[in-house]
Structure 1
Amino acid sequence: MTYTGDVTPGGAPDVRELDRLTVTKLSVGPMDNNAYLLRCTATGEQLLIDAANEAPRLLELVGEGGLATVVTTHQHMDHWVALEEVVAKTGARPLVHADDAEGLPIATEPLHEGDTVPVGDCALQVIHLRGHTPGSIALLYRDPAGIPHLFTGDSLFPGGVGNTHQDPDRFAELIDDVEHKLFDRLPDETWFYPGHGKDSTLGAERPALPQWRARGW
């Protein structure tokens, strides 16, 4: 079946088979958070992006393959409610950007701009995007056999950047980082996977960048 990225809380996951990596997207309640399970096809190693909620469903998704790593995209609670239980039951390494570690329920290993996070034989590049929170990150997978894949947390959605609570300084940080670190560096075909809702591509959103900047959110 063709991957669409359209998932709903309590519904079935959607699976995308890349050449070297399998991406499984699952929505968990009560805030329709997306969690992404990445599996290296060569080694079977798995990584979870955002143990947002509903730990039993996330653990069922992980299955018998085990879980090596959990990356939290940012410090907001709706993205880590299940983190403590998932880590306790799988032994996975919990990772988060150093600037967002405070407030998480367990000790985490720090991430920084430019770090590489392995998923078996594959790798994710850490991109620091200030504004939504101090340590929000995106994770970039450059598929050697296809298009780039970008996991953006709550920093980029179809239709705009993440919430900066009408703070003009935070908005300026976020729109600048999103424009210069994502849109200026990556091609239009880059597919991105946000922390809530549907996916999109950078090409679909690029024409609206001036509008986003002008409206201030």
Structure 2
Amino acid sequence: MELPASPATTLDALQQRLADCGLQPAASRHGTALCWQGLRLGGSDSADIDVELAVTPHPAARQYGFMLFVGCTPALREQARPLLDALAPAAGAWLWCGPRGAGRFCQRVFDAFLYINGPLLREAMQHGQTQPDWAAFFTSQLQLGQQLLALAQQYRRAQHDDSQPELSALLQEFARPPLLHSHYALTLARLLELGLAQQQLTQGIFEQLLRPAP
């Protein structure tokens, strides 16, 4: 089972949102980047992008704002704040995730959680059933958990992070507002790996619960 793919939101849609909000000076398009006051913003974490924008779209995004996951330095974050506020549903309603690359990681994680609590649950309830197919639902959750674990491990490797923090310290750090984190995405990856690494035990419990009674 694949992680749910996010439809690609074009820079045209972002630019239209900014135009609707009357952002001045207006943002312009240059290749795959949206340029504003000397900043290059785009969906890539490559070196030619100053601010990474990972965008989860929804049908009313142009009217109400986009779900934004931002990857950049703190200084560039503050420089881009007026533009980010205009793109989001409300001022400050966007998530700064850490350096470039952090935005895409957090977007994939959050999209997976939304998928578990939305489409995946609806898929389990078919043909007007009053009860979901819990066996299929839990199996799909476990498969998705395995992919999230791999995603978290991959991100930690990319950050050269081999620390082994205590769960209590991680939870305390994660409870802080994201803007107070030095690297929100890395804290999230550590929490995911610590929690999902216990999945084999969880899987055994689910299998016992779902096993037909003799």
- The two structures have a TM-score, normalised by structure 1, of 0.30
- Higher strand proportion (structure 1 or 2): 1
Identify which of structures 1 and 2 has the higher relative contact order when contacts are C-alpha pairs closer than 8 Å and 6+ apart: 2
Larger radius of gyration: 2
- Higher helix proportion (structure 1 or 2): 2
